[in-house]
Structure 1
């Protein structure tokens, strides 16, 4: 499941951009694969906003510096489509549509029987149940304009985009690779970053429903240290963060209830939370979720995987690692 815009080979870097950072990981193609190189760069506010490039010149200049500093010139690159641009939607199509005809059928139906909140999407799909009359599919879509802005920018910097992915799938890929997944589980992933939160519920390896929420971010309320990796310390009013956390906890509860009561008619419930993200207060968020819900909660540990002679891979790079595993497993 990914946006199939490109073709692929090897020597690939794996790039994650969001409203406040640029991160990359390169895997050494061993068995099992090991992280060979990783770096991070802070993005000042206003360069990417809600996943959209708003200052392309500044972003190009920063990426050019990163490419030179990280020595990744003329490389192939996978990247994650920013969460605010992506939607996941369940759709039904006639059962007699063949798999090799599905893309064309969906393209023709977009805007008529299948409605999206944007025009000219790039999309992919995942087959679900088939009752003989109709087939259910999961449709993954994003505005082609904004996805191609990233691809074209990377191309202009002499990188070669070969694949675009979405963050919940990258996170789940790493989760599965490290042996955390269990049969018949319903996993609720919480990607809690500095400027946004992504919530996604998986049945097995299939992401059925996803919600994304921006977080207010005032750079004046944070002390940012720019070393090899960014360090953030909050200097504003604690009450502001408490309100933000409480709002997200309410959204987690709403989405869990939506899954239980609306999607499954009380037949299934979330069996585990998986917390990830780059928010500097992630341990406190973990404690809040653990106290609020009866459902077990887990965080991915890289203690024995990926951490080779090069040192420990920061937990902020889990998405990049999951993206790096694409087509490896």
Structure 2
């Protein structure tokens, strides 16, 4: 129904959602949903301090062909102010392709849900960690989300995502099967395929940490 963040079988997805909504009695409920991380762009930018929220968004859109460059057109944007200055505010900008996100809003509305917030998995997971007291503003926290489909690496500091990388496994999910009790997912590949794959991902994590340590923080972080 969904592959690499894109809806490929809309009819089947709609039927599945309708069945769940009917079973759970969720008709008309507000929906907070997580969008695929693969398409998000996150970066630090600056905007004039005098702008309000809507003016700031208009300013950012005007700068998309100038000082702010994104890898796609027609983005949906949001931002968070990380530091307020007299003339400029530092912001953390989030951008997502509208043609990837809009189909989700449309299908959720069609099946009688009310989509309110489109969230990102690394942000929602961090909020849970923070609520449980598993993180602090002072520490540099590396969050590793190793899933069937992808690997998401995010560094948080002062309760903000500082650096993020997404690695898609490209159809590796086809190598998984459900266990008999349907409570586990098993990888059906042999050991000589599985072990090199695992080692590649561990190497990716190590390189990510090295890059953050020596490039993003200029060598100021210890392992």
Give the root-mean-square deviation of aligned CA atoms: 2.1
Measure how far apart 1:103 and its partner are.
1.6
Whole-Å Cα distance in 1 between the matches of residues 151 and 24 of structure 2? 28
TM-score, scaled relative to structure 1 = 0.62
Larger RCO (CA within 8 A; separation ≥ 6)? 1
Aligned to 1:39: none
> Paired residues, what number?
222
Aligned to 1:214: 168
Match of residue 22, structure 2, among 58, 68, 73: 68
Whole-Å Cα distance in 1 between the matches of residues 99 and 191 of structure 2? 39
Match of residue 178, structure 2, among 224, 240, 255: 224
Q: Is it true that 1:259 corresponds to 2:212 in the alignment? A: yes
Which blocks of at least 5 consecutive residues in structure 1 are unaligned?
A: 1-46, 270-294, 296-329
Whole-Å Cα distance in 2 between the matches of residues 263 and 97 of structure 1? 29
Match of residue 164, structure 1, among 91, 109, 118: 118
Report if the CA contact (8 A) 1:199-1:211 is conserved. yes
Matches within 5 A, 1:120-269: 120-129=74-83, 134-218=88-172, 221-225=175-179, 230-269=183-222
Measure how far apart 1:246 and its partner are.
1.8
Which blocks of at least 5 consecutive residues in structure 2 are unaligned?
A: none
Measure how far apart 1:156 and its partner are.
0.3
Q: Give CA-to-partner distance per residue, 1:161-192, whole Å, 9 cap, x none.
A: 01111111101100011111124100110011
Higher share in helix? 2
Distance 1:192 1:159, change over 3 A: same
Q: Is it true that 1:79 corresponds to 2:33 in the alignment? A: yes
Secondary structure of the structure 2 residue equivalent to 1:119: coil
Report if the CA contact (8 A) 1:125-1:138 is conserved. yes
Greater CA deviation, 65-74 or 139-148? 65-74
Secondary structure of the structure 1 residue equivalent to 2:89: strand
TM-score, scaled relative to structure 2 = 0.89
Secondary structure of the structure 2 residue equivalent to 1:139: strand
Distance 1:220 1:86, change over 3 A: closer
